[in-house]
Amino acid sequence: MTKLFTNDCVSGRAVTELGCETVMAVGRALAVIMQNRSGRPAKILIGRDTRISGEILAASFAAGCCSAGADAVLLGVVPLPAVSYLCEKYSADAGVMISASRHSFEFNGIKIFESSGYCLSPSLLAEIERLVTESPEEMTCSGGEMIGNIVCEKNAEWDYVRGLMKRIDADLDRMRIVVDCANGAVSGTAEKFFRGIGANVILINSEPDGLNINKNCGTEDLEPLQKSVVENRAQAGLAFDGDGGRCVMVDEKGRVMDGDRMTALLALSMKTEQKLNANTCVVSQASNLGFFRWAKENGIVVSAAPTAGVRHIAERMLIGDYNLGGSPTGHIILSDFAKTSDGQLAGAKILELLKRSGRKMSELFEIYEPYPQVKLNIELRPEFSGKWQEVPALREIIDFCSQKLEGDGRVFVRESSTSPMLRITAEGRDRDTVWQYAHAIAKTARDNVGYREEQETS
């Protein structure tokens, strides 16, 4: 039987792989679990991004919730962190985001938050999976007056934007910025928010049509943003992904500032202001080795999450009561607001630092020197999903390259949590060496467990 949840979400090609019936069943299961826990009808928020399948899948999820007696509150198109934030503000029992994040319009997914705004715990995800795949008879449908209601919350977008603006202290004083909305969930919020904190905003890729989300734009293709920043003589540029959880920035020269650099800037600023809990930030295992070296030199403790994924960073932050977490992909968590990554808040905090510093973005860019790094993606054949580690040839080449780089670099190989992709990272002091090792692993992976190679960065 195919596993329903991968990491912390359900995802697949909308309607064909991730069908309306499955989405309805997940909604019903969530409602049953929340009501069994509280002993009363549940209130469940449902947000979505701009992809064409979002509306019907949100409706399917709402139908599942209401059939079990819960009330479904439709938030409309909002960024993923808005759902996390509004769970607490609206006193909801749970919140759901219908999105496939960085992927193209054909895909969609379900991500679930608890009333606290944190991702739903693994134990509750397992219980949803059990109810949907093994024991659907335990999900009794309500009838008559026990059927839940569907409510459309018209103020969700503005409530979220106002919450963001309260977290920014500095007026950006007409700072000229370019914002690439990826034709996604921030298309309706970015201009309101960044203009609201004083910026002169130039929007690009902000006209979603249901099919163009993440298409040659946003964090998936930074070239349009880089070009626009230089042409408009902007002081900085920000790119988001489809659900707004991720932000990558560029300086006035068009150079890319990834999540590691953004996390470093935020950590140093928060430490200086004595706002960084325990002088510690939580990062992904994929964060650049140069970042770890820089943090040690600056008296900042780095705690690496045990597994890749935003949820694992948030969990480590919760356990240690830390308030900053980040990954090189641009997922940055400032837990004083939402309990998941918020691209708009992270980007605005960097702009706030830029304004206060009186310097250029390119000068902030030089905060540390990263190790040369090569990232490659291999599309996995279905039969090797979750099993690629068992292939001797692949395991041997990974071990060999890891041993050769020991002390001067490392190899990091993982399966994507949202798509059938093997992500290969090699980094070290010598660029040519890491390039060779990354491509050696990719070739072995392609020959044994995959289809094709896709270069992400180098």
Q: What 8-state DSSP symbol labels residue 137?
A: G
Residue 217 lies in a domain: yes
From 320, 338, 365, the end of a domain falls on: 365
CB atoms within 10 A of CB 203: 18
Residue 311 belongs to domain with CATH number: 3.40.120.10
Angle formed at CA 221 by CA 218 and CA 223, multiple of 5 degrees: 105
Whether 409 is covered by a domain: the verdict is yes
Distance spanning both ends of the chain, measured CA to CA: 37
> 217 and 349 share a domain?
yes
Residue at 84 is within a domain: yes
Catalytic residue among 11, 84, 99, 101: 101
Domain boundary pick from 312, 343, 365: 365
Residues 249 and 271 in one domain: yes
Q: Report yes or no on 19 lying in a domain.
A: yes
What was the pLDDT predicted at 286?
84
CA angle 391, 327, 457 (to 5 degrees): 65
Residue 193 lies in a domain: yes
Per the domain annotation, does 1 fall within a domain? no
Structure confidence by residue, pLDDT tens digits, 338-360: 899 999 999 999 999 999 999 99
| Confidence at residue 146, expressed as pLDDT on a 0 to 100 scale | 87
* pLDDT given at position 116: 95
What's residue 29's pLDDT? 97
The number of domains in the chain is 3
pLDDT tens for each residue of 411-446: 989 887 667 789 899 999 899 999 999 999 999 999
86 and 129 part of one domain: yes
Same domain (yes/no): 280, 177? yes
Both 77 and 201 in a single domain?
A: no
Residues 220 and 117 in one domain: no
Q: Is 101 a catalytic residue?
A: yes
Within a domain: residue 4? no
Do residue 107 and residue 199 come from a single domain? no
Q: Tell me, what CATH number does 386's domain have?
A: 3.30.70.100
How wide is the angle at C-alpha 51 spanned by C-alphas 262 and 224, nearest 5°? 45
If you write DSSP's letter for every residue of 47-112 in order, what string do you get?
Answer: EE-SSTTHHHHHHHHHHHHHHTT-EEEEEEE--HHHHHHHHHHTT-SEEEEE--TTS-TTEEEEEE
Q: Are residues 285 and 410 in the same domain?
A: no
Claim to verify: residue 361 and residue 379 sit in the same structural domain: no
**Range(s) of the domain holding residue 36:** 9-156
| Contact between 281 and 333 (Cβ < 8 Å) | no
Q: Are residues 125 and 204 in the same domain?
A: no
**Domain identity same for 139 and 185:** no
Sequence-separated (6 or more) residues with CB below 8 Å from residue 92: 43, 44, 45, 73, 86, 115
In a domain, 2, yes or no: no
* 292 and 212 part of one domain: yes
Q: What is the pLDDT along the chain (458 residues), one digit of tens a residue?
A: 357 887 678 888 999 999 999 999 999 999 999 999 999 999 999 999 999 999 999 999 999 999 999 999 999 999 999 999 999 999 999 999 999 999 999 999 999 999 999 999 999 999 999 999 999 999 988 778 889 999 999 999 999 999 999 999 989 999 999 999 999 999 999 999 999 999 999 999 999 999 999 999 999 999 999 999 999 999 999 999 999 999 999 999 999 999 999 999 999 999 999 999 999 999 988 899 999 999 999 999 999 998 778 889 999 999 999 999 999 999 999 998 889 999 999 999 999 999 999 999 999 999 999 999 898 999 999 888 888 999 999 999 999 999 998 888 999 898 876 677 898 999 998 999 999 999 999 999 999 998 754 555 44
